[in-house]
Structure 1
Amino acid sequence: MPTFPRGAITAVGCAVLLASLTACGSSSSAKPISAPVGPASGTITWYANQFGPTSTDVRKTLIAAFEKANPKIKVKLEQAPSDSDAYRSTLTTQISGGSSSFDVYNGDVVWPAQFGKAGLAEPLSGKLPSSYWKTFSPGLVDGLTYKGKIMAAPLFTDNAFLYYRKDLLAKAHLPVPTTWEQVQSDAQKLQKAGLVKYGYSAQWDSYEGLTCDYSEFAADAGGSVVNTAGTKSEIDSAASQKALTYMRGLITSGVAPRAITTFQEQQSEQLFTSGQSAFLRNWTYAYSDANSPAASKVAGKIGIANLPTFAGQSGHGYSVTGGWNLYVNPHSKHLGADLAFVKWITSPAAQKIMALKGGEIPTVSSVLQDPGVQAANPAFRVAASNKLISRPSQVAEYSQVSQGVYGNVNAALSGSTSPKSALAAANKTISAAVSNNGL
């Protein structure tokens, strides 16, 4: 994600927001460094937390394959802290201090603008051709830009999905819902028939996860949190009002439990895997969890689909992107080798390894569309048709923006304020945060 319930920095995609994130955007005087490229040779250090299955280290598999394809470059793996706070703090301290002890590092999807403003990452857009950026799944590169420069490359991604009870829909002769209105009406039918206690479960606690969930609903309604440039709040709109009113309506109608306003990933998943909810919004890993006989009472009865959209909108709904990126240390002395490594590890060959051996959703569109890759995980097949949006990570003050979203949205969902008042309050907070974006 950052990522949520797994506790470490893993591949889930949207972790608990770090309270200290503003520190990386505090150095408004920092200037992006444009280092000479140099030869694609020598030894570089990859500073990376582990991702993928704990039984195997896919990073070592990737390094071996890279060195075979690039015999003039050696890669030294340096273990990064598994705790997100510690990792970010270490990166900030070392890079801002001028350290070149590592060359390429993994980083969260919400860091590009923050790290760009603080001078903690080497801009990549001018060093890799435009054709390279077009290889990624649509929507992935959108959140990597700061002041017109792409600050990172997508390493692996995570998506959100709609999980549903196949057996309950079959009993009620209902199709898989494609609109949010259908989710609500179908849930009420299942509840009225006594087939399930609750209709819907998601992550609506006052934390980063709610920023993700709300951003998806807002996009489905035709709205957004901020504008594309990250310079203006757009949360106080008719589209946002529609999204938030619908979310609140799931609670007041009894489709979602009132306790959903305290749910993070683990709680929302437990309600679903215990058989108490018909639908669940969650990340990729939830499919295997829900189908694990040891951990789920509904194993074998679970379906996975794209998130719905609102009636009248085309296609299906949006998924916020999670996952991790590759950044380059602006103090690296081996930029040529760094770029070769970044380009290779985001190539189809490496992304296929990432998918088949690491279990991560590949970022390269052609790999995600590969039938062999899709066959490895039902979530990959659905992800191939997902519509992706980024959180407002193009704002260097992302921490304040996210807090403005989840704090006020949670208040409206809890019933302590109206959707209209919540959006006005969020707009005030977000407007203050974005006023200095890029300065």
Structure 2
Amino acid sequence: MKAARLSVVAGVALVGLALAGCTGGGSGGSGGGGDANSGLDSKGPITYVQGKDNSNVVRPLVDKWNASHPDEKVTFKEQTDKADQQHDDLVQHFQAKDSNYDVVDVDVVWTGEFAAKGWLQPLTGKLKMDNSKLLEPTVKSGTYNGTQYAAPQTSDGGILYYRKDLVPEAPTTWEAMLKDCDIAKAKGIGCYAGQFAQYEGLTVNVAEAINTDGGTIVGEDGKKVTVDSPEAKKGLSRLVDGFKNGQIPAEAITYQEEQGRQAFEAGKLMFLRNWPYVYNLAKTDGESTVKDTFGIAPLPGVTEGKPGVSSLGGHNAAISVYSKHKATAFEFLKFLQSEETQKFFVTQGSLAPVVASLYDDAQLNSQLPYLSTLKTSIENAVPRPVSPFYPAITKAVQDNSYAALKGDKTVDEALKDMASAIQTASAG
């Protein structure tokens, strides 16, 4: 695939993945679980449900499957490109106990909600997946309360873009990066930015800061509130202090993914936290002023030799508990995870694979030079809380961290109010 083609695909597919894939969606209602023991041996036609196939990866794969499975054909049900609408469509059909939504594409932040309501088929027993070739954090993103409910399909992780003409080596710690801010100040440009507008991207950035300092937002059960901690305070304080000290420019409070990318490409930033899709655009956009002067690196950590923690992006595939042909659905999940399919995802759609070995493939790395850096990011990634209350959690994180970044609340007040809001939601 030519670089120009990769740029277009990355711009369409990965912006959609990064932006839509990071949306929490609505809260959904109760639907009542189906029978997880029915249809385990049944084979037949199934329907696969996913958001808009902008990069044309789903249809060729479905055609390939259907050519070799004439009695177990897959019908592709294409949703909109809006993550909240995708979420609500799935909720509606689960509540209706619709057996025609056999395999569904699940954002990594929806797993806990759907599993807790009994809508997803546990991937245990006859339906146990072989995860031995996968990046471990991707498996965790499909796991709730110790049980796997969704099979990793595509992934994503945050990386650091930096001006290698200004800083020859990427900083590996936050302390080192902030020292480099003197260089940015001398050049009259902003030092560091991420995604700090009040939306899902803010949850991603705040979670990364908290996790990098060893803190968590909720416990592994998805319910116990853990965010009001010294570690979380260190992480959030780092971002708040960055705004106070001008190391993060004031305008970054309005940045989503695209505003940060545009500022970096225009030469207005020295460091940018963003997703891999930026790489090809920064290299090929006509208006990019940094085509030959930027590098990529893992997110900085707090101690030397340990990269920062990325929030895990991506999508997983799950079997509806109401499916009548779970044996076929299971085989389709394995098909989506096959090395051949995963290679197609990355070459056709610039979608990050979940099979670890592909990140070391020399041919793929020559096409997509960010792969080795992305592997480090994903290997050190932590899923956002896998919780049945995720919509309430992300709202609490966004509302209170945004207030702290603006100076309307202290860090202590923000974390206390965040914890209280999450506790109220989980108790309900």
TM-score normalised per structure 2: 0.90
Residue of structure 1 in register with 2:233 after alignment: 241
Residue of structure 1 in register with 2:350 after alignment: 359
Residue of structure 1 in register with 2:172 after alignment: 178
Q: Provide the C-alpha distance between the structure 1 equivalents of 2:84 and 2:230, rounded to a whole number of angstroms.
A: 36
Residue of structure 2 in register with 1:157 after alignment: 155
Residue of structure 2 in register with 1:222 after alignment: 214
- Let me know the Cα RMSD of the aligned residues: 2.3
Q: Is the 8 A contact 2:166 2:183 kept in 1?
A: no
Pair 1:99–1:59, CA change in 2 (3 A): same
Q: Secondary structure at the match of 2:136?
A: coil
Q: CA deviation at 1:185?
A: 0.8
The residue type paired with residue 59 of structure 1 is: V
Q: Provide the C-alpha distance between the structure 1 equivalents of 2:272 and 2:15, rounded to a whole number of angstroms.
A: 23
Q: Provide the C-alpha distance between the structure 2 equivalents of 1:405 and 1:293, rounded to a whole number of angstroms.
A: 34
Q: CA deviation at 1:41?
A: 4.1
Matched, 1:12 2:6: no
Q: Provide the C-alpha distance between the structure 2 equivalents of 1:48 and 1:400, rounded to a whole number of angstroms.
A: 24
Residue of structure 2 in register with 1:422 after alignment: 414
Deviations 1:405-428 (A, max 9, x none): 111111111111111111111111
Residue of structure 2 in register with 1:79 after alignment: 78
Identify the match of residue 191 of structure 1 among 185, 189, 203.
Answer: 185
Q: Provide the C-alpha distance between the structure 2 equivalents of 1:247 and 1:300, rounded to a whole number of angstroms.
A: 29
Q: Provide the C-alpha distance between the structure 2 equivalents of 1:32 and 1:375, rounded to a whole number of angstroms.
A: 47
Residue of structure 1 in register with 2:7 after alignment: none
Alignment of 1:27-426 (within 5 A): 27=30, 30-31=32-33, 33-39=35-41, 41-51=43-53, 53=55, 57-67=56-66, 70=69, 72-129=71-128, 132-170=130-168, 175-192=169-186, 194=187, 196-311=188-303, 314-386=305-377, 387-392=380-385, 394-426=386-418
Pair 1:374–1:41, CA change in 2 (3 A): farther
Q: Secondary structure at the match of 2:240?
A: helix
Tell me which moved more, 372-381 or 66-75.
66-75
Q: Secondary structure at the match of 2:400?
A: helix
Q: Is the 8 A contact 2:48 2:74 kept in 1?
A: yes
Pair 1:9–1:146, CA change in 2 (3 A): farther
Q: Is the 8 A contact 1:9 1:83 kept in 2?
A: no
Pair 1:211–1:378, CA change in 2 (3 A): same
Q: Provide the C-alpha distance between the structure 1 equivalents of 2:248 and 2:75, rounded to a whole number of angstroms.
A: 49
Q: Provide the C-alpha distance between the structure 1 equivalents of 2:333 and 2:290, rounded to a whole number of angstroms.
A: 41
Q: Secondary structure at the match of 2:273?
A: strand
The residue type paired with residue 333 of structure 2 is: V
> Following TM superposition, where does structure 1 have runs of at least 4 consecutive aligned residues deviating by more than 6 angstroms?
5-9
Residue of structure 2 in register with 1:21 after alignment: 26
Q: Provide the C-alpha distance between the structure 1 equivalents of 2:13 and 2:83, rounded to a whole number of angstroms.
A: 9
TM-score normalised per structure 1: 0.88
Runs of at least 5 residues in structure 2 that lack an aligned partner in the other structure: 1-10
Q: Secondary structure at the match of 1:278?
A: strand
Tell me which moved more, 366-375 or 210-219.
366-375
The residue type paired with residue 353 of structure 2 is: P
Residue of structure 1 in register with 2:4 after alignment: none
Deviations 1:87-143 (A, max 9, x none): 22222112211222232121211111111123332222344336x123321211223
The residue type paired with residue 310 of structure 2 is: S
Deviations 1:171-224 (A, max 9, x none): xxxx210001111111223323x2x41101110112111110111111111111
The percentage of aligned residue pairs carrying the same residue is 29
Q: Is the 8 A contact 1:13 1:157 kept in 2?
A: no
Q: Secondary structure at the match of 1:157?
A: strand
Runs of at least 5 residues in structure 1 that lack an aligned partner in the other structure: none
Considering fraction of residues, name the structure with more helix: 2
Q: CA deviation at 1:16?
A: 5.9
Q: How many residues align?
A: 416
Q: Is the 8 A contact 1:40 1:340 kept in 2?
A: no
